[in-house]
Amino acid sequence: MKKGMKAEDRVAASLRRSGAEVEKSPGSRTSADMVANWDGGKEWLVQVKYSGTRAPAPLSSDERRALLARANRNDATPVVAKVTPEKIEYESARDERKLKP
């Protein structure tokens, strides 16, 4: 299994432990790697970025634009999950503020 897919599995498991229903996107062909929904209607569109050695690369301008557009259409929160072997950090793709699931 590719490291990126393992990172996505880690993020999905983390979000599920936080109470979200998570649906992974097939084959990274969409603007978000997964959608997380919580009771009460909160929805996150999550793009996962992984690095095994340092801080993960930021979203490209095209990735950010597509994620923000989809989030606006769906009244959702666009989220970047930054994954390293030690931790997962969540931040808003709009303003880079830290988020807690």
For residue range 53-93, list pLDDT tens digits in order.
Answer: 888 888 999 999 999 999 999 999 999 999 999 999 999 99
CB 67 within 8 A of CB 31: yes
Domain ranges of the chain: 3-99
Confidence of residue 95 (pLDDT cuts 50, 70, 90): very high
66 C-beta neighbours (distance < 10 Å), count: 18
CATH among 3.30.390.30, 3.40.50.720, 1.10.1040.10, 3.40.1350.10 for 3-99: 3.40.1350.10
Residues in a beta bridge with 43: 37
Distance between CA atoms of residues 15 and 42, nearest Å: 13
Q: pLDDT tens-digit profile of 23-57?
A: 998 766 678 999 999 998 999 999 999 988 888 88
